[in-house]
Structure 1
């Protein structure tokens, strides 16, 4: 998209929704509501992919995705391609809100978000898990296209499990004091949150079963047990391929639950 086209395009406000229900012992998708550029396509019995049907997000866009996974059901969400964040009039945002009911499972694994030069973007996740819920949640950010330094981005992740805080994390990337220097020369950063069924009886500060008790560290990747039913894997890398490999290594250190 040319700079002139970017300047002429009006900011978008879009909200897409996915909801499941349990029908005859099987997962059924009861809500699949798209709102361009967030277009949803069911690609399997419990799988939905995001398909971008417009450029963006661009500066000024406010996009929301709402996921409601009913008790005892399963949902997998991915994307067809990477998301390219472009500059425009003002900052852009992408907010994902997810509620996973008791005994339900959610896998959220989109392709990376690429921050083009000049963009100013905010990514927010609000995740809540009820008892016995499971989640596998991946987030990857690439600083710029080929030959670019990348724009500015603030990512925020808030997760609760069984009504108690599980993860509170914020990361700033971009120019000035939040420059790529904080990544130690890496151009990509990513994380995977994986949990076992919630156990509200886990004491404060205790590590739940299925987590890596002492953590694990390798070149550019760390595996961190959470004080609750989960493990967080975080990695830095020079490119998206190396980032995915390091995240996969970290996940291999987490025992099955």
Structure 2
């Protein structure tokens, strides 16, 4: 039987979490604070998402709040009995002078699975965001499942970023070609939004041969990377996070 579950987070300026609602396989736990940020860890309570599942996490970060969200382990998309694809939706609503650091562990697309991942972010004009996405195409020694990932970001009600990526058997032909992944099996991106970029614009920068930091048309930078495995990908994105944060601070 397919699972439908929606977990919710509300964070406030004083470090409070007036809403911290777990649901189904999405168990939310308040964990030790990371500096000034209130920290929430997503703990998988069961195997998910499976085919046909519809999972969602909603986070509302109120004015002046600081929220850090991570996960206890990688999320593994698995085939299920239902023929429909699984759907996993993340919605972040970030108020003025608030900040979200959304840094989960990777998503692994197992052979035979089909997942549609959607992340929607709404930022107030002075909100800040650090968002990392990492996708591992197949477990060790196996082919990838089908994965479609869409990221949409609005800032002050205007589009900042809207992109969709697709991999695996259900993706358009050429997804694994030299112009896209070139045989790599780990792909990721890092988005940093900070009003400080308006004062200190970032410059395009390359990290090795498989990652690049690109300024967006707004106070933001986007890092895109491919790598042979999850460890190499994380190292690249960690380096890029340091570089991007330093750019925003001048």
Q: Which residue, 5, 26, 41 being the options, matches 2:29? A: 41
Asked if structure 1 preserves the Cα contact closer than 8 Å seen for 2:202 and 2:248, the reply is no
Q: Which residue, 148, 154, 179 being the options, matches 1:160? A: 154
Q: Which residue of 2 aligns with 1:133?
A: 127
Do residues 16 (structure 1) and 10 (structure 2) align? Answer: no
Q: How far off is 1:196 after superposition? A: 0.9
Q: Which residue of 2 aligns with 1:63?
A: 55
Q: How far off is 1:171 after superposition? A: 0.3
Q: How far off is 1:44 after superposition? A: 2.6
Where do 1:106-185 residues align within 5 Å?
106-175=100-169, 177=173, 179-181=175-177, 182-185=180-183
Q: Which residue, 95, 120, 124 being the options, matches 2:89? A: 95
Give the CA RMSD over aligned residues.
Answer: 1.6
Give the count of matched residue pairs. Answer: 237
SS of 2:241's partner is helix
Q: 1:165 to 1:148 in 2, by over 3 A?
A: same
1: CA distance between counterparts of 2:7 and 2:174?
31
Asked if structure 2 preserves the Cα contact closer than 8 Å seen for 1:211 and 1:231, the reply is no
Asked if structure 2 preserves the Cα contact closer than 8 Å seen for 1:122 and 1:155, the reply is yes
TM (norm. structure 1) is 0.88
Q: How far off is 1:256 after superposition? A: 3.5
Asked if structure 1 preserves the Cα contact closer than 8 Å seen for 2:204 and 2:212, the reply is no
Q: 1:16 to 1:159 in 2, by over 3 A?
A: same
Q: 1:70 to 1:160 in 2, by over 3 A?
A: same
- Please list every run of 5 or more consecutive structure 1 residues that lacks an aligned counterpart in the other structure: 1-9, 199-206
1: CA distance between counterparts of 2:17 and 2:4?
24
Do residues 243 (structure 1) and 241 (structure 2) align? Answer: no
TM (norm. structure 2) is 0.90
SS of 1:180's partner is coil
Question: After TM superposition, which residue ranges in structure 1, 4 or more long, deviate above 2 angstroms?
Answer: 178-182, 207-211, 213-218, 248-254
SS of 1:42's partner is strand
- Please list every run of 5 or more consecutive structure 2 residues that lacks an aligned counterpart in the other structure: none
